[in-house]
Amino acid sequence: MSSSEFLNLIVTNSNNDSYSVERRFKKDVSIAEFKNKLELIVGCQSNLMKLEIYNKNDDIVCQPNENDRTLGSYPVEDGMRVHVVGDSEQTNEEGVRKFELSQEEYSKRSDTLKAFLKEHKLGKYDEEEAKKKEEQKQQELKNEERLLSAMKVGDRCEVIVPGNPKRRATVMYIGKTDFKSGWWVGVKYDEPFGKNDGSVAGKKYFECFDKYGGFVKPTCVVVGDFPEESIDLDEEL
């Protein structure tokens, strides 16, 4: 857990969708200095980059691009993602082509975070830790597949998401999705507790009314004899 003076942020880069790394930054760092630090991480020239901050639900929170402000003056919280936007094919306001390091050139530099992690075998370059994470990931997938084998579309269920009350629903979709990797269960809630109508990012996975649909991990779904809860109108009189 980071102290109140620091923020742990995940750094991603628009020029390399597969690249991400977690770093710690001081809250009182100026945005100008923050960009300089990010330049060493992603290889994009600091005075040409644009920043976007996303929360854990991948919703954009702010765009911290005022160089004289501090990082902590924006609504940035621990665990959020800072996305560095850069396009080497565009030019700046003076018509000068933007400079960005290629991934090959970036890999050759010795003053980058990547070089430091490699030298000290940290993060994704810690082979033992990487192997452990991969084994854990494979075990989680097997567990999800086991749970999925016991359910089918049309099953009644209870959805139990940590931090939320139990909600009754009907299983409407089982499988992979385009919006996130792994296995997902699409459900139609008995009440409007959902986030969609069975569609995400323009793709339709199942049919239901808006705000009645949702997608949850298999571990959050318990199938069984869960009849729809009805309201006794006589009790309301």
pTM of the predicted protein model: 0.46
Whether residue 117 sits in one domain with residue 164 = no
Residue range of the domain that includes 78? 6-125
Domain boundary, last residue among 125, 142, 175 = 125
* Burial of 214 (C-beta count, 10 Å sphere; 0-12/13-18/19+): buried
Q: Are 29 and 70 in contact (CB under 8 A)?
A: yes
pLDDT of 129-180, one tens digit each? Answer: 667 788 888 888 888 889 999 999 999 999 999 888 999 999 999 999 999 8
30 in any annotated domain: yes
Beta bridge partners, 51, equal: 84
Q: What is the pLDDT of residue 97?
A: 45
Whether residue 81 sits in one domain with residue 187 = no
147 in any annotated domain: no
99 in any annotated domain: yes
Whether residue 44 sits in one domain with residue 115 = yes
138 in any annotated domain: no
Q: Which residue has the tokens 């299983």?
A: 171
Alpha-carbon torsion angle 17, 22, 24, 30, nearest 10: 0
- Return all residues near 38 (Cβ < 8 A) that are at least 6 apart: 11, 44, 46, 49, 51, 82, 84
Q: What is the pLDDT of residue 39?
A: 87
- Return all residues near 107 (Cβ < 8 A) that are at least 6 apart: 114
Q: What is the pLDDT of residue 2?
A: 42
137 in any annotated domain: no
Here the CATH number for the domain that contains residue 162 is 2.30.30.190
Here the CATH number for the domain that contains residue 34 is 3.10.20.90
234 in any annotated domain: no
Whether residue 110 sits in one domain with residue 197 = no
Whether residue 99 sits in one domain with residue 160 = no
Q: Are 48 and 38 in contact (CB under 8 A)?
A: no
Residues of the chain with pLDDT under 70: 1-3, 17, 87-126, 128-130, 229-237
Count of domains observed in the chain: 2
